[in-house]
Structure 1
Amino acid sequence: MSDQDSSTSASQTEGEMEGEGEREDKLREDPPLSLSSFSSSLCAMVRIKQKYMAMKKRRLEKSATLGGGEAGGGGAGPLIGAPTRTSPKIFTFDGLSPHSFTHPPASVSQRKKRGKKRRVMFPNRGRRRAPPAQERSRAKYCLYLLCAIVFLQVYNAIENLDDHVLRYDLEGLEKTLRREVFGQQGAVEGLLAHLKDYLSTYIHNKPLVLSLHGPTGVGKSHLGRLLAGHFRSVVGETLVLQYFVLHHCPLEADALRCARDLSVLISDTVARAEEEEKIPLFIFDEAEHMHGEIMDVLRDLVVSDHSNEYLNAIYLFLSNLGHSHITKHMLHNSSSISMAMTAAGRHSNLVKEITPVLRNTLEELHPLWTEADILPLGLLEKGHVMECFKDEVTREGFYPDLTNIERLAGEIEYYPTVGGREYSKMGCKQVVAKVNLL
């Protein structure tokens, strides 16, 4: 009986081992597909639990089968005195729920997600990864539109500037001055530069105030007459005022009345010019004879705290104030000036050195000159006097004989020759009188 039981138990034990081996092979061949996304360590733990659950289930079935056979067959229980079999303590997953394996902790899942985000995945089979599509920003089109608007505005402003300059025909004025004014090409260029800058627009923050200073006979009054004639042709007769102090207000007793009349006249002119959107011209010849009341009124008009119509105006003062400084400078520095230097170069040198001296002298006389841009006119040479004679002789209808012109130019008084140059003491002042005697 004992041999039979032992052989039966041995055969059962061998059958269990073979069954377990087959099941283990089957589990190795067919791993659960649902856990392929977990890490290798977690999958190993799951496989160990599955094996343990299978072994436990078989043992429960075996014990149930043995218990049923013994109960049905009336078999005896365990032998008396036989040692009791105790199973070793093994690790179990009874305390864990299935959700603990399928859903890892939040911190672990977050770390895995962050790790996955940092990974760069490339497609298999050698295919190139398509570059990410770049989204076009709509702000780019707004920027292009803004650039186009700015370009059109700047272009339109430049066109308007050109139209405004063309209205005053400054190119024609330049040709006239270069043809009619002798020996003052540097001063003419400076005057035209100021006019171009001011007349290029209609909106200003202050009026243009120019003050031309020079000795007698260098062409100040002639220059003023040319400017007045040109502006009358482009802006109209009523917007140009030529004010001769010795003619309009010769007596000092009438200075206050003359100042009031002049103020009313200028106000009416600028108001009319504002309606026509033009810039008026006011020329004050022989400014060295102006009375203090007149200069006070003019200073109040040229300061920049008036309304807009007073800011759009040109004031031109012609005087011989400071002529002694100009004469002294040219006579003392002519020897150091190169003969090859152009007229513009000589004038720029004169402006650079004599303008500060003239400004200090004029500001002591009246604060009106602090608002003015000073342009000095130099002495005329003998060649310039001959050009004056030639032009005047032609105007009077005589033939411009060079021998006769040289004889007339020789009758003019000159300073002693300095640096190979002869400067006239009276400029072209006596040219008209001598031509009239022919």
Structure 2
Amino acid sequence: MRPPRQMTDQDSSLSSSHTEEEEEETMEEDGGGGGSRPMMAPAASLLGVSSTLRAVIRIKHKYQALKKRRQEMALAMGGLPGAPTCTSPKIFTFDAAAAPVSCWPPRKKKKRKRRVLYPNRRRRKAPGQEHSPAEFCLYLLSAILFVQVYNAIENLDDHVIRYDLEGLEKTLRREVFGQQGAVEALMWHLKDFLSTYVHNRPLVVSLHGPSGVGKSHLGRLLAGHFRSVVGEALVLQYFALHHCPLEADAPRCAQQLLSLVSEAVELGEREEKIPLFVLDEAEHMHGQILDALLGLLAPSQANQFLNAVYVILGNLGHERVTRHLLRNASGHELLAPELRRHLEGRHPLWAEVNVVPLGLLERSHVMECFLDEMSREGFYPDRAHMEQLAAEIEYYPAAGGREYAVTGCKQVVAKVNLL
């Protein structure tokens, strides 16, 4: 005996559709009877509602049958490659919102790795960022560079302190009157050169000006100061009229000068000190002596000859200085280039040196000379008396509101000695 077959959704939908059709036919027969049985108004409204409900039920059954057929087809095609994802169509339904059905097998969730647990006996420490070995080298190089620069600065200070340039500057400003610009230029060259010991050429400063403006006095102050800091043997004062008065003796004098310079620079090399050579009365130096000095300034000389200071004093070009100051009382900055061009025409030596001009002295500077000389000789510095003595000095015509002395302070010593 066969078991009773279960009714499926499709059979139920078909039976319901047959029942609905039979009901519709019955209603048509009843309505077509010529109105033998009249219909009431409530029955007509109920009939309209039931027909709408039947239509909704019929649509629902058809959708469920179509959905089931699609699911069966998707299951049948599940083993084929490239099979589409079986998802329900996004249309209006009465079913509760359900997740889309996919034809692909569900993806496996990745298992989380267990956190690494450090042993209790060790200290937990997060892994740090790796440092490149070049970073340590960079720090080391920076430290070495800093130490070298610091040592270089300390060495500069040591050299300057050794020669006591601050004391020299104070002495020159106090003892040399009316030449502040020349003193500043000279000190700038000395500080720049003496701050180091190794050089590629010696320092040569040539100071020129009229008679009585303090050239020889400046040379004596320089020589005295350097004798006190580097020693007597490393300072040479050379006077052209005293050491070589005759032109016939010029070759011999040149060799003698080179010998004195060689002895001083060799001693300075052994003691690591820079010698000073003060060459006064440059206007009386013969050509052979100037040539010998020019040879000492060549960069091809030995190292000991490059570590030396030469100060040349003279009144070469004094007429240019006087004429320039009388015409341009405020144009001192143009005096050095003009004097340099004039001296270069006299000898090639002055093309290799630093030219510093010394200007004319005014009446106030002459008064300071009298005050200093009278104090040295023990006289009471009476201002009225000093003005009377200063009035006896010859002066150029006033230029730019300034009154320059013709002979500077050259006659001050003689006039004070007459008191």
TM-score, length of structure 1 as denominator length: 0.67
Equivalents in 1 of 2:82, 2:364: separation in Å? 121
Tell me what 1:267 maps to: 262
Equivalents in 2 of 1:206, 1:223: separation in Å? 24
Partner SS for 2:356: strand
Partner SS for 2:236: strand
Deviation at 1:135, TM superposition (A): 2.8
Tell me what 2:410 maps to: 429
Tell me what 1:113 maps to: none
Partner SS for 1:318: strand
Contact 1:213-1:322 within 8 A present in 2 as well:
yes
Superposed CA deviations along residues 197-256 of structure 1, whole A, max 9, x for unmatched, are: 000000100000000010010000000000000000000000000000000111111111
1:144 aligns with 2:139: yes
Superposed CA deviations along residues 168-206 of structure 1, whole A, max 9, x for unmatched, are: 000000110011010001110110000000000001000
| Matched residue type, 1:357 | E
Equivalents in 1 of 2:160, 2:198: separation in Å? 13
Contact 1:280-1:313 within 8 A present in 2 as well:
yes
1:227 aligns with 2:222: yes
1:317 aligns with 2:312: yes
1:178 aligns with 2:173: yes
How many corresponding residue pairs? 310
Matches for 1:339-358 after TM superposition, within 5 Å: 349-350=331-332, 352-358=333-339
Tell me what 2:365 maps to: 384
Contact 1:303-1:371 within 8 A present in 2 as well:
no
| Matched residue type, 2:141 | L
Q: Which of 305, 310, 314 does residue 300 from structure 2 map onto?
A: 305
Q: Which of 387, 402, 405 does residue 406 from structure 1 map onto?
A: 387
Tell me what 1:330 maps to: 325
| Matched residue type, 1:228 | A
Deviation at 1:264, TM superposition (A): 0.9
Q: Which of 210, 215, 229 does residue 210 from structure 2 map onto?
A: 215
Tell me what 2:190 maps to: 195
| Matched residue type, 2:230 | V
Deviation at 1:46, TM superposition (A): 6.1
- What 5-or-longer segments of structure 1 have no aligned partner? 1-6, 8-23, 29-40, 49-120, 125-130, 338-348
Equivalents in 2 of 1:157, 1:300: separation in Å? 31
Deviation at 1:140, TM superposition (A): 1.5
1:258 aligns with 2:239: no
1:237 aligns with 2:218: no
Contact 1:241-1:283 within 8 A present in 2 as well:
yes
1:373 aligns with 2:354: yes
TM-score, length of structure 2 as denominator length: 0.70
Tell me what 1:158 maps to: 153
Tell me what 1:104 maps to: none
Partner SS for 1:365: coil
Tell me what 2:242 maps to: 247
Equivalents in 1 of 2:131, 2:140: separation in Å? 16
Q: Which has the higher helix share?
A: 1
Instruction: After superposing the two structures, state which structure 1 stretch, 276-285 or 144-153, moved more.
Output: 144-153
Equivalents in 2 of 1:180, 1:269: separation in Å? 28
1:361 aligns with 2:356: no
Equivalents in 2 of 1:389, 1:326: separation in Å? 24
| Matched residue type, 1:367 | P
Partner SS for 1:205: coil
| Matched residue type, 1:388 | C
Superposed CA deviations along residues 293-315 of structure 1, whole A, max 9, x for unmatched, are: 11111110111110100000001
Equivalents in 1 of 2:306, 2:252: separation in Å? 24
- What 5-or-longer segments of structure 2 have no aligned partner? 3-70, 84-109, 114-125
Superposed CA deviations along residues 21-75 of structure 1, whole A, max 9, x for unmatched, are: xxx99x97xxxxxxxxxxxx9x854699xxxxxxxxxxxxxxxxxxxxxxxxxxx
Equivalents in 1 of 2:159, 2:132: separation in Å? 42
RMSD: 2.5
Partner SS for 1:211: strand
Tell me what 2:18 maps to: none
- In the superposition, relative to structure 1, how do residues 44 and 199 fare at CA in structure 2: closer, same or farther (>3 Å)? farther
Superposed CA deviations along residues 330-382 of structure 1, whole A, max 9, x for unmatched, are: 11112xx3xxxxxxxxxxx42x3122222222111111111110000110000
Equivalents in 1 of 2:407, 2:339: separation in Å? 21
Equivalents in 2 of 1:175, 1:165: separation in Å? 15
Tell me what 2:400 maps to: 419
| Matched residue type, 1:386 | M
Tell me what 1:83 maps to: none
Percent identity between matched residues is: 66
Equivalents in 2 of 1:219, 1:44: separation in Å? 118
